[in-house]
A and B are shown apart, each in its own frame.
Chain A
Amino acid sequence: MPSRHSKLAWSDVTPKHVWMTRRQILAAAGAAALVSPRDGRAGEGTGASLEPNTLEEISSYNNFYEFGTDKSDPARYAAALTTDPWAIEIGGLVERPGTYDLADILKGKAIEERIYRFRCVEAWSMVVPWNGFELRALLEQVGVRPSARYVAFQTLFRPEEMPGQRLPILDWPYVEGLRLDEAMHPLTLLATGIYGETIPNQNGAPIRLVVPWKYGFKSIKSIVRITLTEAEPPCTWNRQNPREYGFYSNVNPAVDHPRWSQATERRIGGGLFAPRIPTLPFNGYAEEVASLYAGMDLTKFY
């Protein structure tokens, strides 16, 4: 599909009436068993609680090294990022490769609200009310060839707007990958909003991945390229330090990061005296995703 830069504003492609209210989506998710029953209870004292963080917290404490390594750098510098026009180049083992304008990607996709726990590999966590659609819907739109086994993603490389990319902090551009069954899982989301509003630039505008059972760095931001592959694609942090960051990077309290424990986490927003809470296997989504890894040694495939 040829690229054509839409003149539509962001608000035109995500009309308000498409957004479901939190109540509706929670009910829908519950019916589809997407959210484990445990989430219904507050989960006091564990990582299970699903009380969303405030937009202020979600948009002011970010790891987005493209804008700098400090947690406040993305909020400080991301305003300079141009997110319109935006297109994603979709290629590799797909039936209909091409450069898809964001408007074409969003056309016909029902934007849902998904309240997910978000667990960073640095042992902090948030609860984020994302708006988005399942990655599966986009993959079905472009047609996955039978030989495809993995999905590779790439973040925008634009150092003139992303000051962190002017430093060799990471091997730019940022790349990530999923196994095809992980990518097709109904929990795997392409997010375009938070709290019913356009996703803030510092959170990965205009479109980012959300894989709630994996450490946050797997949920790649500001995506410009999606490639279906036969071989396991490279992942930035895995390349940087394979001993510390595996390809799978599923949230696992039993497998420690070499530099810090993953047994507990601190939920952002609790203030100066907030205690740590136990981290849950697969970030609390074990019921939905543990079967994807049946028979695998998770201490080896971390």
Chain B
Amino acid sequence: MVQAINAAVRLPPLWLVYAAGLLPAAWVWHLGLTGGLGPEPIRALERELGLTGLQFLVAVLAVTPLRRHTGINLMRFRRALGLLCFFYVAQHLGVWLFLDLADPRLIAADITKRPYVLVGLLGFLVLLPLALTSTDRAVRRLGAERWRQLHRLTYGAALLGLAHFAMLVKGFPVEPLAYAVLVAALLGLRALPPRRART
């Protein structure tokens, strides 16, 4: 079973993974431009793009525990998943900047006055160096160890993203908490001894 999955993982060309990852964006923009996102498309677009970004981040965090505890190896997709996460978060930020507020004074006021905006922005700034150092050349230039250390910032980005989500929800934050539990589980699994060590 695990071997079959690992064999299947090696099949698709990587451009196909990127293309598949871009489909949700294409779909949501299509809906937004054709009236398919309901009466408040800006808010819906913002939400969908942000949520998809968070989902790709969860997928990135799942790669290591999956390999350690089940033997399923999705390493080949990890860079694509990370870059897709960045791409969605960047669009999320772009919609907020250019469609939602679209006024430098409103943007400045929101960043300075509203903690959840600042937290979200910090999350993006943490993702930025990770996206910029995602090429093979950057890995070589930094050296594997420094690159790995830098990319531990992924955990920070996840925590900032979750906090951003939880802080903007009204009422009891059911959905953000569900994501928080998922992320906590994926981080917690890293602390457990890997499968082979236990057998």
Spell out A's residues near B (CB within 8 Å): 53, 56-57, 60-61, 65, 69, 71-72, 122, 124, 167-170, 240, 256, 258-261, 263-264, 266, 268-269, 271-276
Contacts and interface: CB of A to CB of B under 8 A. Distances in A.
Contacts of A65: 171
Interface residues of B, number: 29
Nearest to B42: A272
Interface in B5-42: 32-33, 35, 38-42
B99 A124 contact: no
B101 interface: yes
Contacts of B169: 69
B39 A170 contact: no
A170 to B, nearest CB: 5
Interface centre among A56, A168, A256, A272 (most CB of B within 10 A): A272
A228 B169 CA distance: 33
Interface of B: 32-33, 35, 38-43, 45, 99, 101-103, 106, 109-110, 113-116, 167-172, 174-175
Given A260-B114, A266-B42, A276-B103, 16 more contacts: A53-B39, A61-B39, A69-B174, A122-B170, A168-B172, A170-B171, A256-B113, A259-B115, A260-B110, A261-B114, A263-B106, A266-B40, A268-B40, A272-B99, A274-B42, A276-B102
B38 A71 contact: yes
B114 A272 contact: no
B21 to A, nearest CB: 23
A69 B175 CA distance: 10
B177 to A, nearest CB: 11
Given A167-B174, A259-B114, A272-B32, A60 B43 contact: no
Contacts of B32: 272
A261 B100 CA distance: 13
A268 to B, nearest CB: 5
Contacts of A69: 169-171, 174-175
A25 to B, nearest CB: 25
A269 B40 CA distance: 6
A264 B106 contact: yes
